[in-house]
Amino acid sequence: MPETPEHPTHHIDFSSVLAAAVHDMKNSLSLLIQSIEQLSEVIDAADNQANAQVASVHYEATRLNTSLVQLLSLYRTQLDTLPVTVEQCFIADLLEDVMGAVRLYKQHKNVSVSVQCDDDLSWYLDSELVYMLINDAIINALRYGKQHIQVSAFVEHDELVIKVEDDGEGYPLHMLKQSQTRMAEFTLSQGRTGLGIFFARLIASAHTRGQKKGRIILSNGGLYSGSVFEVKIP
């Protein structure tokens, strides 16, 4: 039907509808994750099968929630509205919060995770965005690591460095290449793995000071001869 004053044509912005749906799904998943965590507290610690199932469901729900958060944030960047709220943050507290969030998956994988960070280390950053970035990095380390993971935070060359090292097989070549690709040329064809790298780079680069931008560095080797994930924030 042609557009007339009596019958205006309404164009539905599908991307906005999708963003609203993603936001609603994310909220529902957050409630589901809370319920799973509450369930884990009442299960008999000796029931290994039940605890393993709960940990597996918690991991998958958390993974989906992370992906939805990433998609929603990417949509907002298309509107130039990625919210970045820079405030003073104590890094040890941030890492403690992340470790609390991955507690069930860590127990299920039976991996030793050490955290090296001075209690008085603080930095100006968006704690929610950096939390999501580090949470995803640690989840990946838990997934691919074998026995040991180290998370460390320190200041080097006037930048905050947060590093996650594991004893897995290391990053595949295509991930190492993607971490160095210019953002404008970045492709998401690698699925969720590609999205995770893109999202991490987006968060890091949103933190600026003068002419310096935050960045991520992926490499192999490090403390355990496995994957090394670094985020550097000026």
Per residue in 118-138, pLDDT tens?
Answer: 999 999 998 988 988 898 899
DSSP code, position 129 = H
Q: Which helix (H) or strand (E) holds 126?
A: none
What pLDDT score does 45 carry? 75
CA 15/CA 147 separation, integer angstroms: 42
CATH number 3.30.565.10 given to 87-233: yes
What would the pLDDT profile of 133-174 be if each residue is shown by its tens digit? 898 899 889 888 989 999 999 999 999 999 999 999 998 887
- 106 three-class SS: helix
Q: What is the pLDDT of residues 79-103, one digit of tens each?
A: 555 567 889 999 999 999 999 888 8
Full-prediction pTM beyond 0.75? no
Per domain, the residue ranges of the chain are 14-78, 87-233
